Amino acid sequence: MGQRKNLRRRDFLHRSAGLAVTASAVGTGKIGLAASGTNAKSQSKLPDLIIDSHIHCGGTDAWVEEMLRVYRPRKVMACALTWIKDMELMRKAAQDHPDVFIPYGRVDLDDPNAVREIETFHKNGFVGIKFHSPQKDYDDPGYFQVYRLCEHLRLHMLFHTGVTNRRISDTPRVQSASKMRPMFLDTIARVCPRATLQGAHLGNPWYEEAAEALRWNPNLCFDVTGSTLLKFIKLGRLERMREILWWAADESVENPHTLKGGPGAWEHVVFGTDEVPSGLEPNIERFQQMLDANHVPDSDRAKMWGLSIAKMLGIDPKTRRLIPRAT
């Protein structure tokens, strides 16, 4: 029942955004946009490599088959976030279909078994770990053991940041978006400088805070999944993104505004969906529309669609295969 409700909710979000796309348009690599409140049209060709950096494993063979039907024809790879109970399903999916599935684990930071589960995921070929809803702030020193383990094992860390959904219930639960503010990732990126980190949803609603954390940490990226782009489209303010992501990679030494030699504002913003498989095409539409509205250079677009996350994970862009890395 809960899964059907989520599907209906996501379908509603797609319709409410006023987005229209056809499979043939995506298949040719050319996108036409029809979004509420805009007459924008884009015929920009999609890059050769697209990686969905944020999608949750559905936990069934039917979900795996749906992913193959939707993602494989469009040559999109997917970082699938997986609880330990579904590890074997995802391990086999990634082994059989490495052109589609990039296996990530998901653990509860406050679970006494978190370290053991992370080690198990790593031994089974998983390359990332997702964190959500901690009982303490993300940068509480009590969690550093987990983060340093991920750094040692070279596991990419994906953190939910910002507001989170909830169900109406009489059962009290210690959960708050305030414990998942994006600036906490600034601490973790400095404590674990060899690790790579990703924040979800650009810290919604703390967008500026997320951007400032991003500006000083070359090992950090953010996706713009969830309601972030839906909100900006509804308000007709997609171009606000360049107000938030304002700096360039070539700031002068005399007046530095970012880490010398670090990435520009756009190249560490990465594509993702955080939806059911059928959400791929509407999310491609929204992401493309954001790029066009902010006049993002083609060189940065390729990184945002897939090259940045491929570099963080150790994926060869030509072969679309993970390159084994020593720990």
pLDDT digits (tens, 9 = 90+) for 267-314: 999 999 999 999 999 999 999 999 999 999 998 999 999 999 999 999
Write out the DSSP string of 132-148. Answer: ---SS-TT-GGGHHHHH
Residue 26 confidence (pLDDT):
43
The whole-angstrom separation of Cα 9 and Cα 215 is 34
pLDDT digits (tens, 9 = 90+) for 86-139: 999 999 999 999 999 999 999 999 999 999 999 999 999 999 999 999 999 999
Residue 83 has pLDDT above 90, yes or no: yes
Residue-level pLDDT at 327: 67
Is the model more confident about 264 or about 229?
229
Averaged over 132-150, what is the pLDDT?
Answer: 97
Q: How confident is the model at residue 257 (pLDDT cuts 50, 70, 90)?
A: confident
Tell me the CB-side half-sphere exposure of residue 295, using CA atoms within 13 A: 3
- DSSP string of 144-206, one letter each residue: HHHHHHHHHHT-EEEE--S-------SS-----GGGG-TTHHHHHHHHSTTS-EEESGGGTT-
pLDDT of residue 40: 52
Q: What is the pTM of this model?
A: 0.86
156-195: pLDDT as tens digits: 999 999 988 877 776 776 778 999 999 999 999 999 999 9
Q: What mean pLDDT value characterizes the chain? A: 87
- Of 249, 266, 273, 275, residue with least CA distance to 304: 266
pLDDT digits (tens, 9 = 90+) for 210-233: 999 999 999 999 999 999 999 999
Q: What strand order describes the sheet that includes 220-223?
A: 50-56, 76-82, 101-106, 128-131, 156-159, 197-199, 220-223, 269-270
What DSSP line would sit under 54-82, residue for residue?
Answer: EEE--SSHHHHHHHHHHHTTTTEEEEEEE
- Give the CA-trace dihedral at 83, 316, 271, 285, to 10 degrees: -120
pLDDT at residue 252, as a whole number: 55
Q: If pLDDT is split at 50, 70 and 90, which confidence band does 251 have?
A: low
Q: What percent of the chain lies above the pLDDT cut of 70? A: 83
Residue 33 has pLDDT above 50, yes or no: no
Residue 17 pLDDT greater than 80, yes or no: no
- The CATH code belonging to domain 2-165+174-316 is 3.20.20.140
Residues 6 or more apart in contact with residue 224 via CB below 8 angstroms:
201, 202, 269, 272, 287, 290
More confident residue, 3 or 55: 55
pLDDT at 266 over 90: yes
pLDDT at residue 317 is higher than 70: yes
| Domain assignments of the chain as residue spans, ordered by start | 2-165+174-316
